[in-house]
Amino acid sequence: MKALKILLSHFRATAVMAAFLVTVLPWQAAFAAVFNPKTFTLDNGMQVVVVSNHRVPVVVQMVWYKVGSADEVTGKSGLAHLFEHLMFKGTPNYPDGEFSRIVARNGGQENAFTSSDYTGYYQTVAKDRLETVMKMEADRMTHLVLTKEQVEPERQVVLEERRMRVDNDPGSILREHVDAALFLNHPYGRPVIGWEHEIRGLTMQDITDFYRHWYEPNNAILVVAGDITVEELKPLAEQYYGAIPRGPDIERVRPAEPPQRAERRVTLHDARVRQPSWSRVYLAPSFFFGDRAQVYPLNVLSEVLGGGSTSPFYRTLVIDKKLAVSAGLYYSGQNLGPSKFGVYVSPRPGVSMEQIETAVDEFFGKVRAEGIDPDDVERAKERILADAVYARDSLRAGARILGSALAIGLTVDDVESWPDRVKAVTPEAVTAAFEAVLVPGHSVTAELLPEKTPGQEAELR
């Protein structure tokens, strides 16, 4: 299967991108800029970004489409992810499977991924094979063969993928219910992979309309990173992608999330559970939802309190009180819609969920009462910088970070200026973000338990 397997839920896809931003970009502390990309726009509206890295004669081509599961029509979930699969089914020029065979024959690697906000396709090849993959990628942007004979096998592949990665995993089932409970109106409440009954119900007209609407050059971003310069890439981009006619302008319209006032709880009992877990997620700001200025302090906050095995949260739950085998915090601000600030704990055998929740509430109550130590804030920022020492050497890091940022509407300047904004975070801003976001009425608390109950159904209360 060429499609990148959907991660456990869409929050993890966005969290991975946010982790790149938080750990990679602050390396500007020692450099004048982060990736020093060069960018231009083709006449048809397709944005092109070049990230030169001449360490090895290899390049990665990424094409990002500004469409994800949150852009699907209500009742048609799974279209974006299904289309990720269908893009490998072939064109008149490159029949089913030929794309992948050519990449393999040329010693390359390929894959794809879908998130709530974007869909991406990439190939890693030797520099002298870049033109080959550019020609094929541009071809399937407009000439994809969509017939029932092509679609139905991939629909079954997606349904099997859902059975394997969601229905057979109690943790994934719980995360779907948590997302559905956290987002009252926003489409982030539905899974990236789609609901089974809606995947089965997608028609050929739905699929064709989706392709014609979203897969246009003016809705795509080409990012090429590696042993290449903008002067070398521009003629190739103009030849292959620039020849595709511009499509109609596309507006991404999504329903707004209303104010939240009620704390929610979701509990799943399943006989397959071997390690119980407790978690809580809070609706949080992102670059395009709520107070954008809190994005940077929230990144620092998650590192200050829960960044690894030396963090206060881990030490309190795991080492000092010996209630848990693991514990931590996470946050992602790189969303086109609302984000999540999360807390998770895996209890030790014999420890009840009530004990875990009490300990978590006591921990955050102490933070609220005593405040956040300014020295801890500075150390957290230093750790963020230290983690980025080797990240700029990665062939794909720049392409992934820039592509994901541009696909949600951020700019190259937003990416390149991230380090200064993180370095400017003050202890007062971190405390203010803590007070504003960690509000019970904006949260969902979840419990995953091993006891079997009739139907093994999730309980929302």
State the catalytic residues.
Answer: 84
Of 334, 324, 349, the closest CA to residue 400 belongs to 334
Structure-block tokens of residue 269: 């009992």
Instruction: Quote the CA–CA distance of 418 and 34 in Å, as a whole number.
Output: 9
Dihedral (CA of 277, 282, 286, 288) sign:
positive
Instruction: Quote the CA–CA distance of 68 and 14 in Å, as a whole number.
Output: 12
**454 contacts 275 by C-beta, under 8 angstroms:** no
Instruction: Quote the CA–CA distance of 441 and 302 in Å, as a whole number.
Output: 20
Phi-psi region of 340 (alpha: psi -120 to 50; beta: other; left: phi over 0): beta
Residues 6 or more apart from 420 whose CB is under 8 A from it? 28
Four-point Cα dihedral 191, 194, 196, 202, nearest 10: 160
Of 103, 6, 11, 26, the closest CA to residue 386 belongs to 26
Beta bridge partners of residue 278, listed in sequence order: 345, 447
Residues 6 or more apart from 253 whose CB is under 8 A from it? none
Question: What is residue 317's DSSP assignment?
Answer: I
**286 contacts 334 by C-beta, under 8 angstroms:** yes
Of 30, 28, 48, the closest CA to residue 40 belongs to 48
Beta bridge partners of residue 340, listed in sequence order: 283, 332
Question: What is residue 168's DSSP assignment?
Answer: T
Beta bridge partners of residue 63, listed in sequence order: 121, 222
**139 contacts 70 by C-beta, under 8 angstroms:** no
Phi, psi of 108 (to 5 degrees): -100, 175
Dihedral (CA of 333, 338, 339, 343) sign:
positive
Instruction: Quote the CA–CA distance of 78 and 72 in Å, as a whole number.
Output: 8
Question: Strand order of the sheet with strand 119-126?
Answer: 38-41, 47-52, 220-226, 58-65, 119-126, 109-114
